[in-house]
Amino acid sequence: MIKKLPLVEGYLCEFPSEDDVSLAVRGEPDRLQAEDDLEFKLCWYPGELFFKSFFPFAHLPLSKPMIKPKPYPLFFNKESAGWGLQRIGAPQVWSKLKERRVRIGIIDTGIDYYHPDLSENIKGGICTLDGKHQFMDDYGHGTHVAGIIGSTGRTIGLTGINPYVDFYIVKAFDKKGKGNLSDIIEGLDWLARRQVEIINMSFSTTETNQTFYRVIQYLDRRGIVLVAAAGNDGGSNSVNYPARFPQVIAVSATDKLDRLAAFSSTGPEVDFCAPGVEIPSAWVGGRYEVKSGTSFAAPHLTGTVADLLNYYGSLPPTRIKEIMASGAVKIQKLGQEQQGAGMVELPRIIS
């Protein structure tokens, strides 16, 4: 036995062979079930030349406590928003947001909790990887996702869609960007216990099992809004899990010209499209970098949901999806399975 998974009333176990698995559950078919621990990949597209990092800050050693900047009023302007935020109209609703904190869970590679534009909003974190304890991001992906959603913009960096968020971070992916279902389930359990309102999942797999689906159903019944990247497999009918589950908001990626990103998965499960090509956001070491992938389209929807919860208060996931659909604009050059209800423009749903 490697770890206990209370959320599914199960355990992660390692067996010498398939025969041993069958032997372990034999005689208890109604009570015991064995399924493989699935492997997941992050939905970013690394096959591009990186723009040079900018806005460098000295990085502090991991042994130091998390440093919180002194609070002072947030001052927003259009120039502090990346092109993706401008495309969905985030700067136009900043003045309408209230100082109601929205609790957001992110399952990813961790977060740079010293980043000057993120540290203030980080309220807790956990690492579910075996033998690890720190939830510091040693890959960059999770920090980039968090910056799109809720960077404060207090430094010379960029402002996120909703700077009034409380981040609860799960580091379930290692420094090579790989993750397993068991670590994700442990993280989802931890987030549910902290009563997060939204969970961002910028990762995918082509396989699934009943254990994973049961977890998704449980979170949905709890009223947690689940947002996931559609995947980077391109082509038609290629939406991956967890975005493929009906309880999850699946997001495809577009570029600056409202064209479908060449890498973006599509299919009837896509609910919305969002910017996902050459997206600037926070990076490890207090920096900012530009990255692409449906990984970074998903947090545009997560930030949009955070704005809705900030503005309207608590809403069930089905109602949130209805409101976003009412404020989505169909892109003529994209088909139904490429964009779902379309691109959500915040000024159309927050006025």
Show which residues are catalytic: 108, 141, 295
Please give the DSSP secondary-structure letter assigned to residue 7.
G
Q: Which residue has the tokens 């990103």?
A: 261
Tokens encoding 83: 């092109």
Cα angle 264-289-281, degrees, rounded to a multiple of 5: 75
Distance CA 253, CA 264 (A): 6
Q: Can you name the residues that pair with 288 across neighbouring β-strands?
A: 54, 282
The closest alpha carbon to 57, from 285, 290, 281, belongs to 285
Alpha-helical regions (H) of the chain: 18-25, 83-88, 90-93, 141-150, 181-193, 210-221, 294-312, 317-326, 336-339
CA-wise closest residue to 110 among 284, 334, 301, 231: 284
Per the structure block, which two tokens stand in for 321?
């999806």
Give me the count of residues in the chain. Answer: 351
Is there a contact between 344 and 328 (Cβ–Cβ < 8 Å)? yes
Query: What six digits make up the tokens of 185?
Result: 């389930």
